[in-house]
Every structure is written in structure tokens, then in C-alpha cells.
Chain A
Amino acid sequence: MLNEGRIDLLERAPLLKRLLKARAFQPAMMLATLLVFTLAILAGIAGTPAGSRNFGIVFVWIVWWALLIVVLVPFFGRLWCTICPIPAPGEWLQRRAIVRRGAARLWTRGLRWPRRLKNMWLQNFGFLAVALFSTIILTRPGVSAWLLLSFLLAGVLLSALYKNRVFCRYVCPVGGFIGLYSLVSPVELRVADPNVCADHKTKDCITGNEFGYGCPWMVFPGSLTRNAYCGLCFECLKTCPKNNIVLNLRPFGSDLTVAKERRLDEAYKAFIMLGCALLYSAVLLGPWGWLKDWANMDTLPHWALYAASFLSANLVLLPGLFGLSVWIGRSASGSGQPLRRLFVDYAYTLIPLGLAAWIAFSTGFVLVNGSYALTVLSDPFGWGWDLFGTAGMHWTPLGATIIPFLQVGVLTAGLMAALNTAYKIARQHGIPHRAAFVEALPVSGFALVVTVGFLRLYLG
């Protein structure tokens, strides 16, 4: 039953509903984040090249990243997309308005996005490309700034060529994994009654009206069953004349068992995110200095070898081993399901595990390096300023004694969620309890081995 066991936050908090319906809400938030974004780019280009003293590095890759992966995504899903400044300039140009409901005709060439790119593959390869150069991007403010600027320019360009938020929906490497991991979050935007939408002739949520635009994410709320592609822009909340939009609080991981929209591109996103978390942890936290040198491009042949290994691990090795475990489960259970379907279905078990791995990795990272934020707050550009008297603060790693416990706790929770999801997926294949248990067992073993691998890296 739709919305069963959900709490509609908009009904419980009328003030929240009023806020989200206000046209000024999203632009105001975007302007605030755009200010931070502008400072980050400016610091990257004009400030000190020392990453730990540059606002651009510290606030983007430590503060924002930790906020995103530890708080926003697990608890609020795509809430970052609500306030993300990257698509804002393009969207405002397209609408020729920031706050008010602009002209009905958008300022764009209005081209059709290629059908074969209507998936997550561009985002998958975009994320892999960024991840390949991450040790450079994360430590060199100039490189980081130009990357952010290129995202912004890509957003503007795509808005000029295509309707709506094509950049967010199909291109943004960050938006891809936020969408995937928001399947876990306990917040969802849905409709109260799909029949109301089905019977509604004008479909204002698609076409827009005087109160708002048609869904920029090209999603029909009436058929929304997962968080993956709803950017929480709340335009539908503004345009719906039937008051049919709800913002639900729900159990964690509710979308993981929605079977009908599972796809290979999303499955691969799960592998890539898990693989990158594993490889990041090995490179940045592991005891192998040579590996860090290779990732840091000490020589071109070393980096080429690193890149080849990195891509192979993400695109071949991890999916290959996972596919093997799926095949074993299929053979042992005799379920008779097509192997491709099982491969895609079970890949969703890696979503909570991958998210937990990123939380564990980021928790350690932010607690150890978070004190740099206070330094750069006073001296954002490394020019010897001292705005708040904290520029002279020394690096102070926090929580050294509790970090391992937090990491073990988060990874254990992620593993439990993965095992639970695996069993539920197995039962969706219409097989009895025992066969479902056998079918899910090798995949569960795979998740366990991966978790042990993370624990080895974090605990030494």
C-alpha cells in the first residue's frame, strides 16, 4: 500500500510546506551555496597552492564532502540537489528569472537529449574520470577550482542546448551517486494518491503553471516509486493544484526493494562507488606509499598502470567476482532466473554497503582533517589574513580513539542492510525461503569479504 507506514512531513509541519512552496526558497539557498562556490573557485585560482590552507580544498573536499556523504545523502537523500549551485546559473539563464515564475518559453535550443544517453552511464564514466585524478584534484586548489568551474560551465551550456536539468539528470558525476544512495534515505517525495494524478488532465507538474515550472528533472511525480531521479526541487509541490504531493518520512532503504526500475547502469554505479571507496581507502589510508605516489602521478608509466588497475578493478574485477557469486547462488538454488537479471538485482545489495563504506572513510577523513576548516575560515586564500582569529590554529586531529569504533559500527550496519536486502531480493524471485537463502548466500559472502577488506584497511 502506497505511503503505508510513512509520515507526511508536510502535513505534520505546515511551516515547512509553506517554506518549500515559496518561490524564493530554492534560489535563496542556491545563492548562499553559490557564494561559497565562488569563494572556493576564487581561492583555488588566486589563493595559496597549499591545499590544507586553501578554502577551495578544505571547504569542498573536507567540509562539503563530509556534510554530503555523512549527513545529507543518508538522511535526506537528494537534499543537496535542492541547494546545489552548479546548475543554478544555467537554469536562471534558461528561465530568464531567478525567483519569479519566468516566461513560459524557456531560453534554450530545446534539443532532445539522445535516447541512448538517457541513463547513468555518462555519470558513471564521469565519476570514474574524476576519481582517477582524485589525489590531484583533492590536493591542488587550482585543479580543483577549474574542475568546479567546468561543471558550472557544462551546466550553463547544457541548459542553453537542452530543456530542463539535463546536466543534473544525466551528466553530473556527483548527482549520479547521490541519486543511487538516496534510495537508502528515509525521506521521499511522492504523491498521496496516484489515481488523482492519473485522472488529472492538465498534468501541471509536467507542464508547469503560474506557480511553478514543469519538473526540471523530467520526472512524473504520479509514477514516482524511487528517489533516484527526483531532485527535490519542489516545483511539483508548487504547481500541483490537487495538493497531492507529500514528503514522507519512511524506513531506511525502502527503495532498495523496488524491483521494477532496476537497471544495469545503476548496478554498475553501485560497483563503481564501492570499488572507488575501497581503492580510495587503500590509496589514502593504506600503508602503501608507492601506491599513493602512483596515484599522484609521480611518473606517467606508474600512473598509467594505476589507471589501468583502477578501471579494471571497478569495471571488470569487482563486477566479475560479484557475477561469479551470483552465478554460484543461481546454480545452487536452482532458481532459474536469467543471470543478467540476478546480476542487476543483487547489485542493489551493494548500495547500503557502499554508502556505509563511504561514511566510514569520510568520518575518519573529516575528523582527522576537519580542524583545517577553522584555519581557512580566517585565512581562506592563504594570504596571511586572520578574519576570526583562528588562522594560527594548528592542525588538530579529532577522535583518534573513537574513529575505529565508528567505522566498525557503520560498516557493520551497512553489511547487515546488505544481507537483509539480498534476502528480500531473493524472495522477490518467487522462490521459497530456503532457496532464497541459498541464492542470496554467495552474494552475502561477497559483501562480507568486502566488509572485512574495509575493516582491514581501517583497523590495520
Chain B
Amino acid sequence: MARRELLARIILGLIVIGVPLAVLGYQYGLRPATSSTRIVDVDLRVPEDGGFAPDAITVLAGEPVTLRFSALDVTHGVAIGPGLDVDLGPVDPGQVKAITLTFDHPGTYTYYCTTWCSDDHWRMRGTIQVIDPANPAFVPTTAPDPVIAALIAEGVDIDAAHGSTDAHDADQPLVFARPLSAARGAALLPDTTIPAEVSDPAWRRTHTPAQALDLLADANPGAAQVDVLDVIAHLWTAGTDPGSLADAQALYDQNCAACHGQYGNGDGPAADTTAEQPVAFADPAYLFGMRGDVLYAKIRRGGMGTGMPNFGTLLTPDETWALVQYLWTLPVADLDTD
């Protein structure tokens, strides 16, 4: 056989057999074997087509692991929580985004989609179970959330229809005659008698603004209700760190706006897909009947039967409180961050 013919046949063999073997061997054999970390490939599809695959990963504490997320259909977003501060941002179709993490302690984390990818977007979650290499069979249990535990102990039904101001003093029906203004409330503060409990941030977390209104009205008998409402708007939104408020707004935009609307009007693009109409935080009548700890509990545990997902596996308690704080700003006209 002539040399050129032999060479051509070798090249043909390399192309037809060698190239596929080399490509697949590198991707599935050599690449993982030579990587300094364990590599886990996670495919992203809309939840209707399977969501994350795999949707459960087990890693050892102290073991570096590289998570590679590939979007296969539409643009998704990937974040991992709670408390890891990992947000890979949007992942376009065909794009691969990777991150290498080392989990120090056993526990459970959640990776979740942050882009409204489909009607069932909120179902798009996966869990990372971090186990102790010395005791792999041990699965740590999550301690009950003290805020939620306290509400249950108090007998508060988290799933009841809150947001009602029925408990408010019937002699003074609640009327929002003008948009709430925190700045006007701050200006009125020197001339207003603030009952001690209303001044206490811990009390404000466990009581509704409507309850504060009753106390303030009793303490300031000549004050107009519209002014007292502004004082309450100031009290419930004062002292918020602008940085954490901005972070909370980002969390809201990422996780809540699709249903509750960008401005909290309950009119997000996915509002029609939920079991119940999403509540409108921008409506002061709703928020004046809400306790901060109940809002916290609803965010972390989800709303039973309403379509409201739980975010307790995604967000830290601090992030959740920051989110609650952000919600209070939505009905206050002069705190509108947009």
C-alpha cells in the first residue's frame, strides 16, 4: 500500500474514531480526573421539563466541589443559599457558569433559579446536602425558626387572612386620605407623644401598625389621623440601612416581583398563575393590618394553599428581616426607591 494511502487511512481513522473518543474521553474521563475539585454538572431546564438535573447533590464538608450549571432551554439564573452570598446571575441557553465551593460544616443548602423562566419557575430548586466525612450517615436537622415557633406558641395562625384592620378602633375608621409620607412623619415627631411600646422596635415587629395607631391616637387626642399615619410610616421604616435595603430590593426583584409586582401592586407577570391573587404590599390598608413577624414567617415558610413558595431554604433570617423591612417601604410614597 502506498505511503500516502496509508497516511490517508490513518487520518480517516483518527477523524472518525479518534476524534470522538478523544473528545468524549477528555470531557468525561480526563477532565474530571485531572480537576483539583470534584465536578458536578447540573443541567437547567424549565421546571415543566425537569428543572435542575440533578436536583440533589451530596458533598462532604471540607471537600471543594465545582458546580457547573448549563442552561439548556431558556435563560435561567442561579443562586445558592442561604447565607452563601452566591449569585451566578443569568445563564443563557447553552451557556455554562461554574463556581467552586467548600462547605465547612454539615447542613443543607438550596440552589435555585432567580430568573422567571416559566409559570412554575418557583419550583426550580435543588438541594446540596453537606455531610460530615467522619460520620456520613448523620444528617443534621434544622433547628426550628424561633420567630415561627413563637408565633405558633402565641396561637397566631400564619395562614389566616391577615392584612385586615378590623382590630382597629371602630370609632376611628382607618382612612388613607393621602399617600403616606415618612418625611412628613419625621417632621411631626417632635410634636407627637410616642407611647413607650411603640418606640420599641421589638414591639413593632410583633404588632400591626393599626394597633400602633390606636395607641398613638389615645396618646395624641387632638392629632389628625392622616398625620398619625405618617408618623407610623416613619416609625416602621426608620433606621433602615440603605445598603441592606438595596440588597433587600434586589432580593425582592429576584424572588417576589414576578407575582407581587415590581412596585408591590400584586400585579406581577406571574400573578395570574398563582392559586390566589398575590397581595399588594403597596396597599397601606393591607400592610397596616400585618405584623412584621407574620410577614417574616410567611416568607420563610410559604403560604399554605396560596401559591406562595417558601424562601426559608434560600434566605438567611437576616435577609428575610431585610426583605420585611423593604416591604414596609412599598406603600410609603417618599420611600419609593424606583
B188 within 8 A of partner (CB): no
- Asked if B94 contacts A98 (CB within 8 A), the reply is no
Flag the segment in A74-82, A309-317, A359-367, A379-387 that touches B: A379-387
The residue that A42 contacts in the complex, of B4, B9, B23, B70, with Cβ under 8 A, is B23
In Å, the complex CA distance between A121 and B9 comes to: 36
Chain A min CB distance to B103 (Å): 22
- Asked if B4 contacts A382 (CB within 8 A), the reply is no
Chain B min CB distance to A395 (Å): 9
B167 within 8 A of partner (CB): no
- Asked if A99 contacts B94 (CB within 8 A), the reply is no
Flag the segment in B10-18, B57-65, B278-286, B305-313 that touches A: B10-18
In Å, the complex CA distance between A49 and B94 comes to: 7
- Asked if B9 contacts A98 (CB within 8 A), the reply is yes
- Asked if A100 contacts B2 (CB within 8 A), the reply is yes
B217 within 8 A of partner (CB): no
- Asked if B94 contacts A50 (CB within 8 A), the reply is yes
Chain A min CB distance to B49 (Å): 11
Chain B, 50-78, contact with A by CB distance < 8 Å: what is the 0/1 string? 00000000000000000010111100000
Interface of chain B residues 1 through 28 with chain A (CB within 8 A)? 1-2, 4-5, 8-9, 11-12, 15-16, 19-20, 23-24, 27
Assess A50 versus B27: contact at CB under 8 Å? Given A35-B15, A382-B70, A384-B70.
no
Provide the residues of chain A in CB contact with B93, threshold 8 Å: 50, 52-53
In Å, the complex CA distance between A383 and B68 comes to: 9
Assess A38 versus B70: contact at CB under 8 Å? Given A50-B94, A97-B5.
no
The residue that A34 contacts in the complex, of B15, B27, B70, B96, with Cβ under 8 A, is B15
In Å, the complex CA distance between A28 and B8 comes to: 8
For B96, give the chain A residue with the smallest CB separation. A384
Interface of chain A residues 381 through 404 with chain B (CB within 8 A)? 381-384
Chain A min CB distance to B37 (Å): 14
In Å, the complex CA distance between A167 and B72 comes to: 35
In Å, the complex CA distance between A379 and B68 comes to: 14
A27 within 8 A of partner (CB): yes
Assess A38 versus B5: contact at CB under 8 Å? Given A52-B93, A52-B94, A53-B95.
no
For B23, give the chain A residue with the smallest CB separation. A42
In Å, the complex CA distance between A28 and B94 comes to: 33
Provide the residues of chain B in CB contact with A98, threshold 8 Å: 5, 8-9, 12
Chain A min CB distance to B333 (Å): 39
Interface of chain B residues 70 through 97 with chain A (CB within 8 A)? 70-73, 93-96
Chain A, 221-249, contact with B by CB distance < 8 Å: what is the 0/1 string? 00000000000000000000000000000
Assess A50 versus B71: contact at CB under 8 Å? Given A31-B12, A35-B15, A379-B96.
yes
- Asked if A27 contacts B27 (CB within 8 A), the reply is no
Provide the residues of chain A in CB contact with B94, threshold 8 Å: 48, 50-54, 382
- Asked if B72 contacts A49 (CB within 8 A), the reply is yes
The residue that B16 contacts in the complex, of A38, A48, A51, with Cβ under 8 A, is A38
Interface of chain A residues 39 through 53 with chain B (CB within 8 A)? 39, 42, 46, 48-53
Chain A min CB distance to B99 (Å): 12
Provide the residues of chain A in CB contact with B187, threshold 8 Å: none
B150 within 8 A of partner (CB): no
- Asked if B96 contacts A383 (CB within 8 A), the reply is yes
Provide the residues of chain A in CB contact with B11, threshold 8 Å: 31
Chain A, 250-278, contact with B by CB distance < 8 Å: what is the 0/1 string? 00000000000000000000000000000
- Asked if A99 contacts B5 (CB within 8 A), the reply is yes
Interface of chain A residues 266 through 325 with chain B (CB within 8 A)? none
Provide the residues of chain B in CB contact with A38, threshold 8 Å: 15-16, 19-20
Interface of chain B residues 158 through 189 with chain A (CB within 8 A)? none
In Å, the complex CA distance between A38 and B72 comes to: 22
Chain A min CB distance to B6 (Å): 9
Provide the residues of chain B in CB contact with A339, threshold 8 Å: none
A24 within 8 A of partner (CB): yes
In Å, the complex CA distance between A239 and B15 comes to: 30
B98 within 8 A of partner (CB): yes
Provide the residues of chain B in CB contact with A39, threshold 8 Å: 19, 23
Provide the residues of chain B in CB contact with A383, threshold 8 Å: 27, 70, 96
- Asked if B19 contacts A35 (CB within 8 A), the reply is yes
- Asked if B8 contacts A42 (CB within 8 A), the reply is no
- Asked if A48 contacts B5 (CB within 8 A), the reply is no
Chain A min CB distance to B311 (Å): 29
In Å, the complex CA distance between A42 and B20 comes to: 7
- Asked if A99 contacts B19 (CB within 8 A), the reply is no
Provide the residues of chain A in CB contact with B1, threshold 8 Å: 100
- Asked if B98 contacts A100 (CB within 8 A), the reply is no
In Å, the complex CA distance between A28 and B12 comes to: 10
Provide the residues of chain B in CB contact with A49, threshold 8 Å: 72-73
Chain B min CB distance to A107 (Å): 15
Provide the residues of chain B in CB contact with A54, threshold 8 Å: 94
Chain A min CB distance to B132 (Å): 30
- Asked if A382 contacts B96 (CB within 8 A), the reply is yes
The residue that B24 contacts in the complex, of A46, A48, A382, with Cβ under 8 A, is A46
Interface of chain A residues 164 through 202 with chain B (CB within 8 A)? none
- Asked if B2 contacts A99 (CB within 8 A), the reply is yes
For B66, give the chain A residue with the smallest CB separation. A384
The residue that B4 contacts in the complex, of A48, A53, A100, with Cβ under 8 A, is A100
In Å, the complex CA distance between A28 and B24 comes to: 25
**Which of B15, B16, B71 has the largest count of A CB atoms less than 10 A from its CB?**
B15
Chain A min CB distance to B122 (Å): 23
In Å, the complex CA distance between A98 and B72 comes to: 40
For A34, give the chain B residue with the smallest CB separation. B15
Provide the residues of chain A in CB contact with B71, threshold 8 Å: 50
Provide the residues of chain B in CB contact with A379, threshold 8 Å: 96
In Å, the complex CA distance between A99 and B73 comes to: 44
For A382, give the chain B residue with the smallest CB separation. B94
- Asked if A42 contacts B96 (CB within 8 A), the reply is no
For B11, give the chain A residue with the smallest CB separation. A31
Chain A, 90-120, contact with B by CB distance < 8 Å: what is the 0/1 string? 0010000111100000000000000000000
Chain B min CB distance to A144 (Å): 14
Chain A min CB distance to B232 (Å): 48
- Asked if A31 contacts B96 (CB within 8 A), the reply is no
In Å, the complex CA distance between A28 and B16 comes to: 15
21 A-B pairs with C-beta separation under 8 A: A28-B8, A31-B8, A31-B11, A31-B12, A38-B16, A38-B20, A42-B19, A42-B20, A49-B73, A50-B95, A98-B5, A98-B8, A99-B2, A99-B5, A99-B8, A100-B4, A381-B23, A382-B70, A383-B96, A384-B70, A384-B96
Given contacts A100-B4, A384-B98, 8 further A-B contacts (CB under 8 A): A38-B16, A42-B24, A48-B72, A53-B95, A97-B5, A99-B8, A382-B95, A384-B70
Which residues of A are at the interface with B, using a C-beta cutoff of 8 A? 24, 27-28, 31, 34-35, 38-39, 42, 46, 48-54, 92, 97-100, 379, 381-384
Closest 5 CB pairs of A and B: A53-B94, A50-B94, A384-B96, A50-B93, A98-B8
